[in-house]
Amino acid sequence: MEYVRLLAQNPNLSIDDVIMLDKIQKNREITEEEFSYLRKNKFIEGRKPKIYLSYKVIKPTENEELMADYVKNKSFDDDYFKKLITEYIKKQGKTSRKAIDKLIIPKLSEVLTEEQKKKKVTNFLSGLRIQGKIKKLPGYFWEII
């Protein structure tokens, strides 16, 4: 109930919006129409089935707990993680994929599955390799170029 009151404080939301967003918060199923409406109005972020309230919805509530959940779900941008990887490899020298996973995976959004997190790390490494910043060594090690 407190959650609904918080959302109701947002002047941009109708009562129908609040009801739909309450479903999101409680991880209840929503229809495709509701999903499209919420996405179009930028009330939610993420990918199905792991969707969460957007900054646009959370900011007006000024609720620290909701903001903390949002930041946990949103995570950081890709450049942040790429910089973290390159800095780590610079300091470590030759670095294993396992070590990079240990560094990055815990920092990724909680809405991602373990498989999605590993794929994201793979994409970061591939991007850095394509940019010519790192290179892959035999045995699945990485090093700065």
Q: Could you tell me if 122 and 69 lie in one domain? A: no
The answer to whether residues 129 and 81 touch, using CB atoms and an 8 Å cutoff, is: no
Instruction: Grade residue 126 by pLDDT with cuts at 50, 70 and 90.
Output: very high
Q: Could you tell me if 62 and 94 lie in one domain? A: no
Q: Could you tell me if 25 and 85 lie in one domain? A: no
Angle at CA 108, nearest 5°, toward 120 and 55? 115
Q: Could you tell me if 89 and 69 lie in one domain? A: no
Q: Could you tell me if 70 and 82 lie in one domain? A: no
CATH number at residue 109: 1.10.10
CA 76 to CA 16: how far, in whole Å? 31
Q: Could you tell me if 137 and 104 lie in one domain? A: yes
The answer to whether residues 100 and 142 touch, using CB atoms and an 8 Å cutoff, is: yes
Q: Could you tell me if 90 and 70 lie in one domain? A: no
Instruction: Grade residue 91 by pLDDT with cuts at 50, 70 and 90.
Output: very high
Q: How many domains does the chain divide into?
A: 2
H-helix or E-strand spanning residue 4: helix 2-8
pLDDT of residue 2 exceeding 70, the answer is no
In the chain, the percentage of residues whose pLDDT exceeds 70 is 97
Out of 16, 49, 74, a domain closes at: 74
- The per-residue pLDDT for 57 is 85
- The per-residue pLDDT for 11 is 74
Least confident of 45-59, 83-97, 112-126: 45-59
pTM of the model: 0.69
DSSP letter, residue 10: -
pLDDT of residue 3 exceeding 80, the answer is no
pLDDT (tens digit per residue) in 21-79 = 888 888 888 999 999 999 999 999 988 878 888 998 888 878 888 888 888 888 788 89
Q: Could you tell me if 24 and 84 lie in one domain? A: no
The answer to whether residues 81 and 128 touch, using CB atoms and an 8 Å cutoff, is: no
Q: Could you tell me if 6 and 67 lie in one domain? A: yes
SS (H, E, C) 24-67: HHCCCCCCHHHHHHHHHCCCEEEECCEEEECHHHHHHHCCHHHH
- The per-residue pLDDT for 40 is 95
- The per-residue pLDDT for 117 is 94
Out of 29, 53, 74, a domain closes at: 74
pLDDT (tens digit per residue) in 49-63 = 788 889 988 888 788
Domain range for 35: 2-74
Out of 57, 74, 91, a domain closes at: 74
Q: Could you tell me if 84 and 61 lie in one domain? A: no
* Backbone torsions φ then ψ of 31, nearest 5 degrees: -75, 165
What are 95's strand-pairing partners? 142
